[in-house]
Amino acid sequence: MNKQLTLGVDLGGTNIRVALVDREGRVQAKAVHKTESAQGGEHVVRRVEAAIEELLNDNKAKLPAIAGIGIGSAGLIDVREKTVLYAGNLGWNNVPLGRLLEEKFQLPLRLANDANAAALAEWLWGKAKGKSNLLLVSIGTGVGGGVISGGRLLEGVGGGASEIGHMSVDIHGPECGCGNRGCLELYASGTAIGRRAEERRVAALAEGRAGIRTAPWPSAVEVRQSALEGDALAQEIIQETAYYLGMGVVNLIHLFNPEEILFTGGVMDSETFLLPEVIAAIKQRCIPALYNQITGIGLASLGGEAGLLGAAGLHFVEA
């Protein structure tokens, strides 16, 4: 392929980010638009179309160099049909986004889950560059993941591989919206941290436990801050989160034998908070021979740009 640019789209519940990216992972042009997901699926599709159209119109001289459009979207993806099968944050079910955009813009289009796209970006241009086997774990509102195995993005038959947030870490746990029980996402996501902390706070107050804060914890951010300030209950929640997250990652190590493990997302934004506890839990439970083959466990390097870059990078790797 002699075309040196792709147009990447990072489709989230809040923002649609679009960029022209070259083969070295450098952003040549970029724009951000509000998703406006509350106005319905058809409206969001039109918003994506408008965002792409605007970027193309602003960069007409670069059109001959564009190889195609790559989209990273939250949710369950069918890469063959270029369809978003389900995306709760968009209110989507079976939206043929890729085919609609391919028809409109007459450019080749590839579609991937956003966490898979982030893993691809870290492998192409980030901290895992040069590594053939990568496990990326994204901890934010939900829990997502991406796997590079043998130098290829692991997608599965339809693109649904690496839905790690929905592997069970407690067979007797609460029911998840996916239909499973005890999913990792119910214990380790930012949403779960805030919910579990508030449930435990209310229960502890009812039991008359000493030293319990009376103000609610509105989110995981406040739970984290309380833990840093020495709140015992908040620290318990964080330790439990590290335990469940570590357990989930150990399962993935035993499945995929990665050489690099990277964490990303709003919950994992510090080398000194949560990550050391997660690493300790992994080391405690992992088969030593597999643990010893891991060359690095740490934070991803591309941050919030990873999904956008990885979406563009879909056209720079073999399908």
DSSP code string of 200-264: HHHHHHHHT-TT--SS---SHHHHHHHHHTT-HHHHHHHHHHHHHHHHHHHHHHHHH--SEEEEE
- Nearest 5°: CA angle at 91, between 85 and 93? 25
pLDDT tens digits for range 70-109: 999 988 899 999 999 988 778 888 999 999 999 999 999 9
Average pLDDT, the chain: 93
Are 152 and 286 a contacting pair, CB within 8 Å? no
> How much is the average pLDDT of 182-196?
93
The one-letter amino acid at 316: F
pLDDT tens digits for range 209-218: 999 999 999 8
Q: In what order do the strands lie in the sheet with 27-34?
A: 27-34, 15-22, 5-11, 66-73, 109-113
Residue that has been written with the tokens 């890729």 in this structure: 98
> How much is the average pLDDT of 254-269?
92
Share of the chain above pLDDT 90, in %: 80
DSSP code string of 18-34: EEEEETTS-EEEEEEEE
> What is the spatial distance between Cα 9 and Cα 19, in angstroms, rounded to a whole number?
7
Active-site residues, by number, are 114
Are 52 and 105 a contacting pair, CB within 8 Å? yes
Are 14 and 34 a contacting pair, CB within 8 Å? yes
Q: How far is CA 83 from the centre of its chain?
A: 18
| 1, pLDDT greater than 60 | no
At residue 243 the predicted structure's pLDDT band, cuts being 50, 70 and 90, is very high
The one-letter amino acid at 38: A
Q: Is 175 helix (H, G, I), strand (E, B) or coil?
A: strand
> What is the spatial distance between Cα 300 and Cα 298, in angstroms, rounded to a whole number?
7
Q: Is 86 helix (H, G, I), strand (E, B) or coil?
A: strand
The one-letter amino acid at 172: H
Protein fold of 5-113: Nucleotidyltransferase; domain 5 (3.30.420)
> What is the spatial distance between Cα 133 and Cα 141, in angstroms, rounded to a whole number?
26
Q: How far is CA 253 from the centre of its chain?
A: 18
> What is the spatial distance between Cα 282 and Cα 3, in angstroms, rounded to a whole number?
43
Per-residue confidence (pLDDT) for residue 11, from 0 to 100: 94
The one-letter amino acid at 282: I
| 305, pLDDT greater than 80 | yes
**Which of 276, 307, 249, 298 minimizes the C-alpha distance to 127?**
298
| 59, pLDDT greater than 60 | yes
Share of the chain above pLDDT 70, in %: 99
pLDDT tens digits for range 60-71: 999 999 999 999
- Quick one: CATH architecture of 127-300? 2-Layer Sandwich (3.30)
> What is the spatial distance between Cα 49 and Cα 43, in angstroms, rounded to a whole number?
10
Q: What is the pTM of this model?
A: 0.91
| 159, pLDDT greater than 90 | no
pLDDT tens digits for range 132-144: 999 999 998 889 9
Residue intervals in the chain for CATH 3.30.420.40: 5-113, 127-300
Per-residue confidence (pLDDT) for residue 41, from 0 to 100: 85
Q: Which residue has the higher pLDDT, 147 or 3?
A: 147
Per-residue confidence (pLDDT) for residue 28, from 0 to 100: 95
At residue 319 the predicted structure's pLDDT band, cuts being 50, 70 and 90, is low
At residue 284 the predicted structure's pLDDT band, cuts being 50, 70 and 90, is very high
- Residues in the chain, overall count: 319
